[in-house]
Structure 1
Amino acid sequence: MASPNDVVSAVLQHPAYKELLQRRTRLSFIFFFITLVIYAGFILTLAFDPTLFGSPVGSLTISIGIMTAIFVAISAVVLIAIYVYISNKIFDPLLAKIVRDVT
């Protein structure tokens, strides 16, 4: 049986592991910037134009601020769902390949 250090070294040298790191890092940055734009846009709008958030949406009694907050919450759930889907379809098989090759 291989020692834990040998397994770690083998994983770190595996080309699929390097691919996994690159793809996961790239995807993480994309999701980070999408989230940053959504949340920063929400907070900056609230900070610099708070009256906008108090305005009603058309003839409805709900305000733009409530609708925007709902959008922010739903966008977080959607982004999480997309990440989990991508992780299950791309990252997990890649990780399973690495484990098969190393052990």
Structure 2
Amino acid sequence: MNSAHTVVATVTQHPAYQELLRKRNRMSLIFFGLTVIVYAGFILTLAFDPELFSRSVGSMTMTIGVLSAVIVLLSAVVLVSAFVYISNKVYDPLLAQIMRDAT
């Protein structure tokens, strides 16, 4: 049991782990900010200009509300996919290297 505590202490004190935490937290905040902007923009537009969402898109029968809702959903999929890709390609290899150094 003491060995597990030693590994944890070694990993948390590793300078590369501290850098990994800073990078991951910064990236999380960026993605959080983008998500808030998209969703807040949608909700605030709905709250303060609901007539906008009832207008048709050009000569189509689809409304701006339906189109913007689809864009909000697609943005969520894109943001989650981008975060997972970055996590798998950047953060996971760094963490694996830190674990190899710690053991």
TM-score normalized with structure 1 length: 0.96
Runs (4 or more) in structure 1 with deviation over 3 Å come to none
TM-score normalized with structure 2 length: 0.96
Could you tell me how far 1:2 is from its partner in structure 2? 5.8
Specify every segment of 5 or more residues in structure 2 that has no aligned partner in the other structure, as ranges.
none
**Count of residue pairs brought into register by the alignment:** 103
1:1-103 to 2 correspondence within 5 Å? Answer: 3-103=3-103
* Equivalent position SS for 1:3: helix
Taking the aligned partners of 2:2 and 2:57, their CA distance within structure 1 comes to: 64
CA deviations 1:53-88 (Å, max 9, x no partner) are 010001000000000000000000000111111111
Residue type at the aligned position of 1:33: G
Taking the aligned partners of 1:8 and 1:99, their CA distance within structure 2 comes to: 9
Sequence identity of aligned pairs in percent? 60
Specify every segment of 5 or more residues in structure 1 that has no aligned partner in the other structure, as ranges.
none
Taking the aligned partners of 1:84 and 1:4, their CA distance within structure 2 comes to: 28
Q: Cα RMSD between the aligned structures?
A: 1.1
